Structure 1
Amino acid sequence: MTIMTTPEDAQRFHKDFAQLVANIEQAVLGKQDCVKLALACLFTGGHLLLEDKPGTGKTLLAKALARSVEGRTKRVQFTPDLLPGDITGGMIFDLEKQELQLRRGPVFTNILLADEINRASPKTQSALLQAMEEGQVSIDGENHVLDQPFMVIATQNPIEQAGTYPLPEAQLDRFLVRTELGDPAPRYAIQLMHEAFRMDRSELVQELIGVRGVVDRKHIAAGVHVETEVLQYVNDIAVKTRADNQVQVGVSMRGCLALVRLAKTWAAAEGRHFVIGDDIKELAVEALAHRLVLTVEAEFRDVKAVSVIQRIVDSLPVPNGGPRR
């Protein structure tokens, strides 16, 4: 049973969230929006897809995020020859003990960076599906529960597509948010070059809360109130995507639930114990665009899912959503 979040809980969440953002920004300069989204994913219990070119700080973001919450992080470079067992682990025979023992794969961590996930085969990509959805993996028919919190930060290179395997819709739908870091603004780029002697900027990040603190804050976010009119707004967006002539497959109920959960965390991060319509509007593109399947004609005309979601959101009135007196 979810306990309703109080105004005091929300203010405490807001204070902690702001401190974490400032802490991580010591490593990832000038990317506050992306840092906030990554933290919101973590506190919502979701996963993040970064679609960006190499060298923008994706690995650094994962390491800084994990260090800030005293968590462990592992990185897997996805390649065409990577096997599912390289992700989940497997049973190996211990010659000394003369028995099979579990070799835990890199998925047994708090934050897993799946670098260039679209370079691995669909079979290997699917090895992450159960882990992302259920928080556990099956090895030789036996389920093994993953550490909590568990978050996947996956990356895709949008430039080099030769020899890649596009993520299927079923796996894209498992990501709570898709966004990009992008290149730093000039003043931050110059600062980074001035501090080129720092080989690992994540070392600047302090350990602020433990992994147990992450779980506690997830409970606070889950208890944030959402008025019916805001839920209706989310449903209206989804219905419009399904009826749009540029969309083959619109936003599913999974997408609606993901947006609502993310908006709850976002509201708490803003110090509110309730969601407003502007939370939904602000998060809709990052939470929903990657869930659309456009028509062949729309893709041929280079229509982007981001622009479709933005157009639909702009066409609908935004409800207030504040608590009723």
Structure 2
Amino acid sequence: MEPITPAELERAVAVTRSVEEAFTATVVGQRGLLRSLLITVMARGHLLMESVPGLAKTLSASTLARAVDASFSRIQCTPDLLPSDILGTQVFDPATTSFETRLGPVHAHFVLLDEINRSSAKTQSAMLEAMQERQTTIGGHTHLLPHPFLVLATQNPIDEEGTYVLPQAQMDRFLLKEVLDYPTPLEETEMLGRIADGTLSAPSGGPVASLDDVVFLQDVTSRVHVAESVRRYIVELVNVTRNPGAFLASETARYVEHGASPRASIAFLQTARAAAVLAGRDHVLPEDVVGLRHAVLRHRLLLTFEASAARVSPDAVVDAVFAAVPTP
């Protein structure tokens, strides 16, 4: 790989700063979500968001798409949603006595899957296949998805009626999982002010970057240097999740039923590179890995029923894992 030049790094930082300013001009708070969105885009991954309703998940996704001049589609998942409703289907045209292919809403640069756990297992599988292969097959013909392609899926943790929980193997395909919290009183006051003056209902300004800029950011991110010591650090961390009894205290180790797969190591590598670019660096520091520990691992650790009964969160177990491995 060619090293990143100072000019390329300067351009990457300028693009990300412009997108951040456009985002914060519309969305109040959610700085953690903004960082996760940028890292996911730069690392060519997909993002899973979990929160109660009304915390600006849809607004955040559409604002980011508008900022980089990307096509955006929103799919509201319901139990009766079919794979063809997402991927597309063939429709018979009587005028030509032939079938015409109509592509579904997944054929967009940024796709928001609202409440993905409300769709059936078959529909979830079809969507996740599109995420992995970045293509769809309709009537025996393959259709490539746009590039760049990003899926933002949401889950509502407080309403379980009519839901189909994502299997662990499918959760693993999301690069990051971001858990959103309520805004602070100050942020909520500012939000009301923006509603009163019409800022939220009629966001101003057009794109501040282009899809070419997004592709450029992805290329720069893939060339960020990762030292051998940092790669070993990542592998050691993931190995602790697979062998908790050998590294963690017994009261914590018993909460882990299954550790993280190699996708976790790959996710740490990719996201740490993106975090380095956001910080204006051409190399990864251990702090980049530490700062992403919850978003990378919280959905990849399968905890026991005992952990659920004791109200032990995945984030607490992740913190214990990192505490067990010395930082290089």
Query: Structure 1 length normalisation: TM-score?
Result: 0.93
CA RMSD of aligned residues (A): 1.5
**Aligned pair 1:292/2:301, yes or no?**
yes
Distance (Å, rounded) in 1 between the aligned partners of 2:258 and 2:94: 52
In structure 2, the CA distance between the partners of 1:7 and 1:311, relative to structure 1 (3 Å rule), is farther
Contact persistence 2:66–2:206 (CA under 8 A): yes
In structure 2, the CA distance between the partners of 1:314 and 1:18, relative to structure 1 (3 Å rule), is farther
**Aligned pair 1:278/2:278, yes or no?**
no
In structure 2, the CA distance between the partners of 1:202 and 1:41, relative to structure 1 (3 Å rule), is farther
Letter in 2 for 1:166: V
What do the CA deviations read for 1:212-270 (whole angstroms, capped 9, x no partner)? Answer: 22111100000000001001111011000001232222111111101110110110110
Q: CA deviation at 1:204?
A: 3.0
Percent identity between the two aligned chains: 36
Letter in 1 for 2:121: P
Which residue of structure 1 lines up, in the alignment, with residue 16 of structure 2? 17
Q: CA deviation at 1:202?
A: 7.1
User: Mean Cα displacement is larger for which, 61-70 or 175-184?
Assistant: 175-184
SS of structure 2 residue aligned to 1:114: strand
**Aligned pair 1:211/2:211, yes or no?**
yes
Question: What are the residue-to-residue correspondences of 1:174-323 with 2, within 5 Å?
Answer: 174-197=173-196, 198=198, 200=200, 203-244=203-244, 245=253, 246-319=255-328
User: Mean Cα displacement is larger for which, 237-246 or 64-73?
Assistant: 237-246
Aligned length: 318
Q: CA deviation at 1:181?
A: 3.0
User: Mean Cα displacement is larger for which, 203-212 or 263-272?
Assistant: 203-212
Which residue of structure 2 lines up, in the alignment, with residue 67 of structure 1? 66
Letter in 2 for 1:169: Q
Which residue of structure 2 lines up, in the alignment, with residue 114 of structure 1? 113
Contact persistence 1:225–1:274 (CA under 8 A): yes
Contact persistence 1:111–1:152 (CA under 8 A): yes
Letter in 2 for 1:62: A
Distance (Å, rounded) in 2 between the aligned partners of 1:242 and 1:11: 40
Letter in 2 for 1:272: R
Distance (Å, rounded) in 2 between the aligned partners of 1:201 and 1:10: 35
Q: Which runs of 4+ in 1 moved over 3 A?
A: 199-202
In structure 2, the CA distance between the partners of 1:82 and 1:199, relative to structure 1 (3 Å rule), is farther
In structure 2, the CA distance between the partners of 1:229 and 1:23, relative to structure 1 (3 Å rule), is same
What stretches of structure 1 of length at least 5 have no aligned partner? 320-325
Which residue of structure 1 lines up, in the alignment, with residue 250 of structure 2? none
Q: CA deviation at 1:201?
A: 5.0
Distance (Å, rounded) in 2 between the aligned partners of 1:108 and 1:81: 20
Contact persistence 2:18–2:209 (CA under 8 A): no
Q: CA deviation at 1:149?
A: 1.0
Distance (Å, rounded) in 2 between the aligned partners of 1:212 and 1:12: 12
Q: CA deviation at 1:199?
A: 7.3
**Aligned pair 1:103/2:102, yes or no?**
yes
What stretches of structure 2 of length at least 5 have no aligned partner? 245-252
Which residue of structure 2 lines up, in the alignment, with residue 322 of structure 1? none
Contact persistence 1:57–1:181 (CA under 8 A): no
Q: CA deviation at 1:82?
A: 0.6
Which residue of structure 2 lines up, in the alignment, with residue 45 of structure 1? 44
Distance (Å, rounded) in 2 between the aligned partners of 1:18 and 1:29: 16
Letter in 1 for 2:315: V
Contact persistence 1:10–1:269 (CA under 8 A): no
Contact persistence 1:26–1:201 (CA under 8 A): no
What do the CA deviations read for 1:78-113 (whole angstroms, capped 9, x no partner)? Answer: 011111111101111112222111111010001111
SS of structure 2 residue aligned to 1:195: helix
User: Mean Cα displacement is larger for which, 262-271 or 205-214?
Assistant: 205-214
